[in-house]
Amino acid sequence: MRVAVIGGTGFVGSYLIEALAACGHQPRLLVRPAGGSRAPGVPADQLVEGSVGDDPALHELLAPADAVIYNLGILREFPQHGITFEKLQFRGAARVAEIALELGIPRFLLMSANGIDRAATAYQRSKLAAEDFVKNCSFDWTIFRPSVIFGDPRGRNEFASQLKSQIIDPPLPAPLFYDGILPRNPGGFCLSPVHVRDVASAIARSLEDTRTFHRTFTLGGPGTLTWKQILQTIAEACGKTKLMLPAPLFAPQIAAAICERFPWFPVTRDQLTMLLEGNTCSGSALFDMLDIQPIPFDAPHLAYLRD
């Protein structure tokens, strides 16, 4: 199957390309100019230069395809540079879906995110809008909602690596965030980290599996961990012992309100809001269906953090 992939050169995308090839599919990638170097193993004639706002490039990419995977997403926006959730996570997905309909492509897979039903942030609202648009299209769609994704980043941004560099490596105590004034259950909010290989395999194996058509699947790892347990596991994987102390969320929220517009500042107010909401889900429905044994979030599978 010829599969057009939008978002194939990033962290998840690099694993997705491998998983598609392992399943016998032929990926075609949309890449930025000179971006083919981030798509090893993909023939040059299967790379189309352009952006998600470039209609001619999208038509060239999709025209020979049998299926489309929209895997484009960002963790924060910079409106001053034209980088917004609305543009990339909603309007981009909607435009690609429209072109897929025009060309008669029968299969469309969308990477979304767990927890977006709250619609409390611009990130969540853009993802939810993209889902609603795709669900109202006439092709056979499948939507994936992963929790936080971990795995060897291969030079890209990744959840555990960021926590290591921003929280575990610095000499300051690790913050156990809590909301409000009193430290009730600091660091007790929970996440379901899922390995990038499992996410990529689930998407690739779903392409031709009719049981996945017109369904939305959450993708969580085999264990639910508190923030404190996640930090402890990362420290263990790095061979470190880390002091952890309760930290009220209002302090980083104030700092983010002032500095989040700058790329060097590590977090935004919306990211802090979503973090404290937690992000838990199960992936068993799809993993069991596709015979995938999910990889746990533990020190042996975080060995890449030592590098």
Q: What DSSP state is assigned to residue 169? A: S
Residue of 66, 61, 34, 62 whose CA lies nearest to 48: 61
**Per-residue confidence (pLDDT) for residue 36, from 0 to 100:** 67
Of 103-112, 241-250, 293-302, the poorest mean pLDDT is in 241-250
pTM equals 0.95
The mean per-residue pLDDT over the stretch 263-270 comes to 83
Give the span between the Cα atoms of 122 and 170, in whole angstroms. Answer: 30
For residue range 218-262, what is the model confidence (pLDDT) as tens digits?
Answer: 999 999 999 999 999 999 999 999 999 999 988 888 888 888 888
Residue 145 is inside which H or E element, if any? strand 140-146
The residue that leads in pLDDT, 79 or 148, is 148
- 62: confidence class by pLDDT, cuts 50, 70, 90: very high
Residue 16: the pLDDT is 97
143 pLDDT more than 80: yes
What is the distance between the alpha carbons of residues 139 and 224, in angstroms, rounded to a whole number?
A: 34
Q: Average pLDDT over the chain, rounded to whole?
A: 94
The three-class DSSP label of residue 17 is: helix
On the question of pLDDT at 270 being above 70, the answer is yes
Q: What is the C-alpha separation between 247 and 177, in angstroms, rounded?
A: 5
pLDDT of residue 138: 97
pLDDT of residue 249: 87
User: Which of 85, 66, 65 lies closest to 75, judged by CA?
Assistant: 85
pLDDT at 187 over 80: yes
H-helix segments, 42-157: 55-62, 85, 92-103, 122-135
Average pLDDT over residues 181-190: 90
Single out the residue of 39, 111, 53 nearest to residue 83, CA to CA.
53
Burial class (CB in 10 A: 0-12, 13-18, 19+), 75: middle
C-beta separation of 149 from 12 below 8 A: yes
